[in-house]
């Protein structure tokens, strides 16, 4: 069985075998029908492949080397236009990523966070006091229009803390390793 | 001074000789290398361009020619590398159409059976991956020895035997499938 596996490998290169290996193969083939069939198939394969008619080059392939060299010096272009590979240093990539992160963080903070969130907490005039439970459960505009309008004026007077909010992602980025 | 000028002249003469040598190699192997590259990449125009590219590489490396023992294997190695690199670059071997009209430029005297047989062989060959197609072509079509195939592909003889053995079995299977269609 060991010899069978060995012979199968040798059959693929039968033409190039040394006399000893060839004798081994010939002896085995006499006893093994599978290897005999394989040897015949390989011989036919070699015959078919050797008999293939080669396609002839067209006029695009010059007949002399001078033609190719002349073509290279005057109008030669590579076999296919290769896209230029842009080589960027890793440090530049990291810096670009950090910058992009900062810009995106700014954008998110400016767009997503409600601008009145922290300000409302600072408006004690809107918060219901302990005057009555009914007044506390009623919407402020319905209960105390004066209080609502004063709260609005108060809100307008307080500057929007954009700068403070914008610093938050910077702190996050700076804390990153 | 005279010695230096003589050295420069000798160098120039050697360069010219090597250039002429490459020119002779080109004329000798031009058609066969084109056919080989064509069977690897499966496209006529591309094969013509790659053949030019391969011989330009041969020309650029002509200074190494005196050291090369087997010039044919060396040329095929450069052609193989050029074709494989192009295939790798473009990943076209999976979907490239096979131009049947280009495959079998047979004469009028060839019978329909011969044409059909040749087409079947070409189709079965095409079914093989280039990694296996190349050694089978070099060994069985171009008559290279195992050592020459190893040199042309830049691999060891053991690897060539292994690839040839697998390629033959793959070819058998592909040929049977093509015959049944």
Residue A127 has pLDDT above 60, yes or no: no
Residue B8 has pLDDT above 60, yes or no: no
Please indicate, yes or no, whether residues B128 and B91 belong to a single structural domain of this protein.
no
For residue B38, is it within any domain? yes
pLDDT at A147: 58
| DSSP string covering B30-48 | HHHHHHHHHHHH--HHHHH
Please indicate, yes or no, whether residues B128 and B163 belong to a single structural domain of this protein.
yes
Segment 149-178 of chain B within 8 Å of chain A by CB: 160-162, 164-165, 168, 171-172, 175
The structural domains of chain A, with segments of one domain joined by +, span: 1-48, 90-131+143-175
Over residues A53-65, the pLDDT tens digits come to 888 888 888 877 7
Among B77, B100, B123, the domain-final residue is: B100
Q: What is the mean pLDDT of residues B65-94?
A: 85
Which CATH number covers residue B118? Answer: 1.10.10.10
Please indicate, yes or no, whether residues B53 and B115 belong to a single structural domain of this protein.
no
For residue B105, is it within any domain? no
Give the gap in angstroms from C-alpha A97 to the nearest C-alpha of chain B. Answer: 29
Q: In which region does residue A139 sit, left (phi positive, over 0), alpha (psi from -120 to 50) or beta (all else)? A: beta
Over residues B87-127, the pLDDT tens digits come to 888 765 455 554 444 544 434 445 667 677 788 899 999 99
Inter-chain contact B23–A63, Cβ cutoff 8 Å?
no
Give the gap in angstroms from C-alpha A67 to the nearest C-alpha of chain B. Answer: 10
Cα–Cα distance for residue pair A92/A89, rounded to 1 Å: 5
Q: What is the mean pLDDT of residues B147-168?
A: 94
Please indicate, yes or no, whether residues B84 and B118 belong to a single structural domain of this protein.
no
pLDDT at A102: 94
CA dihedral B145, B170, B39, B94 (to 10 degrees): -140
User: Among B125, B162, B133, which Cα is nearest to A10's?
Assistant: B162
Cα–Cα distance for residue pair A95/A107, rounded to 1 Å: 18
Among B32, B67, B100, the domain-final residue is: B100
Which of the listed ranges A22-36, A83-97, A129-143 does the model predict with the highest average pLDDT? Answer: A22-36
Whole-number percent of chain B with pLDDT over 70: 78
Alpha helices in B61-156 (DSSP H): 71-90, 100-103, 112-126, 130-136, 146-153
Number of separate domains in chain B: 2
Please indicate, yes or no, whether residues B116 and B157 belong to a single structural domain of this protein.
yes
Please indicate, yes or no, whether residues B14 and B84 belong to a single structural domain of this protein.
yes
Inter-chain contact A12–B165, Cβ cutoff 8 Å?
yes
For residue B167, is it within any domain? yes
A119 touches chain B (CB under 8 A): no
pLDDT at B152: 94
Please indicate, yes or no, whether residues B78 and B9 belong to a single structural domain of this protein.
yes
User: Among A78, A129, A81, which Cα is nearest to B49's?
Assistant: A78
Which CATH number covers residue B71? Answer: 1.10.1740.10
Structural domain including B66 reads: 1-100
Inter-chain contact B48–A61, Cβ cutoff 8 Å?
yes
Inter-chain contact A68–B55, Cβ cutoff 8 Å?
yes
Complex ipTM, two decimals? 0.77
Among B100, B135, B168, the domain-final residue is: B100
Residue B15 makes CB contacts below 8 A (sequence gap 6+) with B62
End-to-end CA distance of chain A: 63
Residue A4 has pLDDT above 50, yes or no: yes
pLDDT at B15: 52
Please indicate, yes or no, whether residues B91 and B160 belong to a single structural domain of this protein.
no
A75 touches chain B (CB under 8 A): no
Please indicate, yes or no, whether residues B24 and B71 belong to a single structural domain of this protein.
yes
For residue B129, is it within any domain? yes
């Amino acid at each position: 069985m060991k010899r069978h596996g060995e012979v199968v490998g040798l059959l693929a290169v039968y033409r190039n075998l040394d006399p000893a290996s060839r004798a081994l193969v010939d002896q085995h083939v006499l006893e093994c029908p599978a290897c005999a069939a394989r040897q015949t198939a390989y011989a036919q394969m070699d015959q078919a492949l050797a008999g293939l008619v080669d396609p002839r080059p067209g006029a695009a392939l010059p007949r002399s080397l001078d033609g190719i060299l002349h073509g290279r010096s005057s109008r030669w272009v590579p076999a296919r236009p290769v896209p230029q590979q842009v080589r960027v240093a890793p440090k530049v990539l990291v810096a670009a990523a950090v910058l992009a992160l900062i810009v995106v963080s700014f954008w998110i903070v400016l767009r997503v966070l409600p601008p009145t969130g922290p300000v409302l907490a600072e408006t004690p005039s809107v918060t219901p006091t302990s005057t009555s439970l009914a007044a506390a459960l009623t919407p402020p505009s319905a209960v105390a229009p004066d209080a609502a309008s004063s709260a609005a004026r108060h809100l307008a007077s307080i500057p929007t803390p954009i700068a403070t909010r914008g610093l938050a992602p910077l702190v996050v980025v700076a804390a990153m390793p | 001074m005279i010695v230096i000028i003589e050295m420069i002249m000798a160098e120039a003469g050697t360069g010219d000789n090597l250039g002429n040598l490459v020119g002779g190699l080109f004329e000798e192997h031009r058609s066969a290398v084109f056919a080989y590259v064509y069977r690897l990449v499966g496209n006529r125009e591309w094969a013509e361009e790659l053949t030019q590219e391969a011989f330009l590489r041969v020309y650029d490396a002509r200074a190494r020619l005196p050291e090369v023992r087997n010039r044919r294997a060396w040329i095929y190695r450069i052609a193989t590398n050029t074709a494989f690199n192009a295939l790798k670059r473009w990943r076209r071997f999976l979907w490239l159409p096979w131009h049947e009209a280009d495959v079998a430029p047979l004469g009028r005297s060839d019978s329909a059976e011969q044409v059909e047989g040749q087409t079947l062989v070409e189709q079965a060959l095409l079914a093989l991956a280039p990694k296996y197609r190349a050694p089978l072509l070099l060994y069985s079509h171009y008559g290279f020895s195992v050592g020459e195939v190893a040199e042309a592909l830049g691999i060891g003889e053991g690897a060539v035997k292994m690839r040839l053995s697998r390629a033959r079995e793959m070819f058998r299977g592909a040929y049977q499938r093509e015959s049944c269609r």
